[in-house]
Structure 1
């Protein structure tokens, strides 16, 4: 889905007035006045969109600072799930890892949700992303990632956690925190799951190792959270699973974006060569 297609969906939903594209990834995200509208890539994501709305209501009731829904239900418009959210005030500064830590502590202290949360299917999107990549990537690379996915899925299922399992954000990065006048709030709730809490902590460990996150910023995060997941013997398994998913995620953009093709090749080559030092770039 590109911006043009997303705007067609917005127009069909009656939400296109003065809409400005804010982000284009798994969803197209538009600002429209005091609202934010998310257009999902395809109908397969409808259930996830509905769950994200349920999570937002649950977090609001629990007092966890997070984005709030403006409409209680998702719409399916021309085969695309559409959700509508209250727009947050302008950020007072960029979010930092230390802003994320107390929010995760609140989430990790929650009891089970009053509705079913899935396990964190970190590798669940790999097949769809590779399918969307089509002929834009080498079939041998796609086969390699499928084999790697299967191996890490089995290894992750056998892990013994250090923290008690329960609700997790699922994509715990500073980009999913908005620091407004009243402090940090969580955004992008679509990957909320019930699984190993370590999933949320491995994200920044990988950011430190692969994406150039400053070591001091990482240490500020672990100090604020109270534990460094790298001390856990299962860290390498979850890191490897996330690397596999992150590589496949970029592949879906390869058919229309030369930068995505270049970044995919960088990532898959470093995985094939076992080179943990190759820098990856956010996309």
Structure 2
């Protein structure tokens, strides 16, 4: 099964063209730009301007950009430690069917953030009581199903399995009884979305920010400690700092399966466009299908 988005596959050549168009519109230079990430979004660093350019890489990512912009502005009003949108430029930008945001570059010159740092950031985020207007309710399966609607080079058998898994996880989620008070959640709270800024750890990546169960914000690091081959375990410090160990809650196995489903499907729209990630994706998919909870995964790079 092969499907591409209406905006076209994000090949490196297409990305370079988009970057030049964006920079021309914003009065910036794309010379010496560095592609620092290319998974569900493509992220460039403009070395000459201290700016980060973020290109939404799928329909699911594009539909979330207006929320990302609202959340970033909301956090800035609260002086919350997070990345900031580039001022003086229309946000978001629309170029050739793609949706793009520009951010102030935050140099990673501080000490490596750990679980304790993320726990403190989440406590502070969860304490905010005036969410941005029109912030959506948490519906995690909608994002996964959008990704499954536009995969690249996914076999019919794998596609059918993942759709079935969506139904299974969705049914189990409906039966959960959460114990923490719901509210604003980051939605993808793992250490990869914490920057070691010069003034301390700062959050980034607000694609998944919604109103939902706080348990979900505590699940990514817990799952990472069990599934990923990270050199350090950040779950213990996070749960101690936050004051709640999600792995001891009876609903955690369901959130673990959901998190792993998202980690498997996150790159489906670019499996052909970015072939370097395919070996790791196949490794994840094999163990996920087999229900093997002991196999360790690596980052997509």
The answer to which structure, 1 or 2, has the higher relative contact order (CA under 8 A, 6+ apart) is 2
Pick closer, same or farther for the CA change 1:44–1:281 going to 2, 3 Å: closer
- Taking the TM superposition and a 5 Å limit, the aligned residue runs for 1:152-171 are 152-171=169-188
Equivalent of 2:78 in 62, 66, 72: 62
CA offset digits 1:92-140 (Å, max 9, x no partner):
2333222211101111111141312222332323233334434x23211
Residue in structure 1 matched with residue 196 of structure 2 by the alignment:
179
Matched residues in 2 for 1:38 and 1:219: separation?
A: 32
Aligned residues between the structures = 282
Pick closer, same or farther for the CA change 1:5–1:247 going to 2, 3 Å: same
User: Is the CA contact 2:221–2:234 (under 8 Å) kept in the aligned structure 1?
Assistant: no
Pick closer, same or farther for the CA change 1:162–1:181 going to 2, 3 Å: same
Matched residues in 2 for 1:262 and 1:93: separation?
A: 32
Matched residues in 1 for 2:133 and 2:263: separation?
A: 28
Pairing 1:224–2:241 present: yes
Pick closer, same or farther for the CA change 1:216–1:22 going to 2, 3 Å: closer
Residue in structure 1 matched with residue 38 of structure 2 by the alignment:
24
Pairing 1:5–2:14 present: yes
What TM-score do the two structures reach when normalised by structure 2? 0.86
Residue in structure 2 matched with residue 84 of structure 1 by the alignment:
102
What SS does structure 2 have at the residue aligned with 1:125?
Answer: helix
- Taking the TM superposition and a 5 Å limit, the aligned residue runs for 1:27-176 are 27-32=41-46, 33-42=49-58, 45-70=61-86, 71=89, 73-134=91-152, 136-176=153-193
Pick closer, same or farther for the CA change 1:41–1:252 going to 2, 3 Å: closer
Show structure 2 runs of 5+ residues with no match: 1-9
User: Is the CA contact 1:178–1:186 (under 8 Å) kept in the aligned structure 2?
Assistant: yes
Deviation of residue 149 (structure 1)? 0.7
What SS does structure 2 have at the residue aligned with 1:252?
Answer: helix
User: Is the CA contact 1:91–1:178 (under 8 Å) kept in the aligned structure 2?
Assistant: no
CA offset digits 1:241-277 (Å, max 9, x no partner):
1111211223333324444332233222222222110
Matched residues in 2 for 1:69 and 1:105: separation?
A: 23
What SS does structure 2 have at the residue aligned with 1:118?
Answer: coil
Matched residues in 2 for 1:218 and 1:181: separation?
A: 24
Show structure 1 runs of 5+ residues with no match: none
What SS does structure 1 have at the residue aligned with 2:161?
Answer: helix
User: Is the CA contact 1:155–1:237 (under 8 Å) kept in the aligned structure 2?
Assistant: yes
What SS does structure 1 have at the residue aligned with 2:281?
Answer: helix
Residue in structure 2 matched with residue 242 of structure 1 by the alignment:
259
Matched residues in 1 for 2:276 and 2:16: separation?
A: 23
Matched residues in 2 for 1:140 and 1:155: separation?
A: 23
Deviation of residue 38 (structure 1)? 0.9
